[in-house]
Amino acid sequence: MGAETFVRWRHPEHGVVPIQRRYAEAARSGALVELASVMLPVWAACTGVHAGLVASFDFSAEQLLDEGFMEAVLRIADRAGRRLAVEIDHDDFRRAAPTDATEPVAPPVADLDTRLAALTASGFEVWLDDFGQTTMDEAAARHPAVAVVKLDRSLLQADPSWLRGLVGRMHDGGKPCSWRESRPKATVATPWGPASTAT
């Protein structure tokens, strides 16, 4: 069991920005880097108090393949220490590191591997986010840099035996799975019994 909390943006006119819109706009504008530059030093100051917690940051495929972006992130990471995670959307990851006929984002996959190696060397874990939201590419989930596979909540409606097999294959490959249910007091039927939040 685990818990997850989010940083939300409150627009002075539009209120709290929905996560789907927030992520798309922040990725396009580069504001994700600015948000990280604010939050990472805050996190660094808290790590001594909250040693068991991990701070995660959403990155897009295009950002991971951008030299200037990566340099900025690694500079920020130097100030924040360990217990950091990079969350990459499953579909974004497949575009950056295609394993089939998906359209890659230039430059080629070798550059992505270099970026991921630099992140892990700086103390980041790489989490594959929204696995199963639109597609399920188990080859992407088995990428050497991926530390955790975050299952999309829609998979919890799948056949329990199938879901147990998927999670088992991921665990056998050294890729623990996590999932969340954010609706208040919701009950989620999992292969291991009901849970309101599961990790």
Tell how strand 146-151 and strand 55-59 pair up. Answer: unpaired
CA distances to 32, 35, 69, 124, 125 from 56, in Å: 12, 12, 17, 9, 9
**Tell me, what CATH number does 63's domain have?**
3.20.20.450
Q: Is there a domain that residue 196 lies in?
A: no
Number of C-beta neighbours around residue 117 at 10 A? 12
What confidence score (pLDDT) does residue 186 get? 39
> For residue 3, what pLDDT band results from cuts at 50, 70 and 90?
low
What residue has token string 């880097």? 33
Of 83-97, 125-139, 172-186, the range with the lowest mean pLDDT is 172-186
Burial code of 30-59, b = ≥16 C-beta within 10 A, e = fewer? eebbebbeeebeebbeebeeeeeebbbbbb
- What is the overall mean pLDDT for the chain? 71
| H helix runs in 61-131, sequence order | 61-64, 67-80, 90-96, 109-121
Provide the pairing of β-strand 188-190 with 193-195.
antiparallel
Domain ranges, residue 92: 19-182
pLDDT for the residue numbered 59 = 77
Do 155 and 132 form a contact (C-beta atoms < 8 A)?
Answer: yes
Number of domains in the chain: 1
Asked if residue 54 belongs to a domain, the reply is yes
Residue 8 covered by a domain: no
Confidence (pLDDT) at 81: 58
Query: Cβ(92)–Cβ(140) under 8 Å?
Result: no
Residue 4 forms part of a structural domain: no
Give per-residue pLDDT as tens, 121-175. Answer: 888 888 888 887 777 778 778 888 889 888 887 787 778 888 888 888 888 888 8
Rg, the chain, Cα only: 17
Q: Encoding tokens for residue 78?
A: 């130097």
How far is the C-alpha of 81 from the C-alpha of 123, rounded, in Å? 7
Supply 39's token pair.
Answer: 């939050």
Per-residue pLDDT of 139-152, as tens digits, reads 778 888 889 888 88
Residue 72 inside a domain? The answer is yes
Instruction: Evaluate if residue 23 carries a pLDDT over 80.
Output: no
Instruction: Tell me how far the alpha carbon of residue 99 is from its chain's centroid.
Output: 19
When mean pLDDT is compared across 10-14, 70-74, 133-137, 184-188, the lowest value belongs to 184-188
Are 129 and 155 in contact, with CB atoms under 8 Å apart? Answer: no
**Model pLDDT, residue 184:** 42
Q: Is residue 77 part of a domain?
A: yes
81 within a domain of the structure (yes/no)? yes
Residue 15, pLDDT above cutoff 80 = no
Residue 12 belongs to a domain = no
**pLDDT for residue 190 is more than 70:** no
Instruction: Provide the residue type at 190 as one letter.
Output: T
Question: In this predicted structure, what is the pLDDT of residue 103?
Answer: 54
Q: Compute CA 24 distance to the chain's CA centroid, rounded to the nearest angstrom.
A: 15
Structure confidence at residue 163 (pLDDT): 83
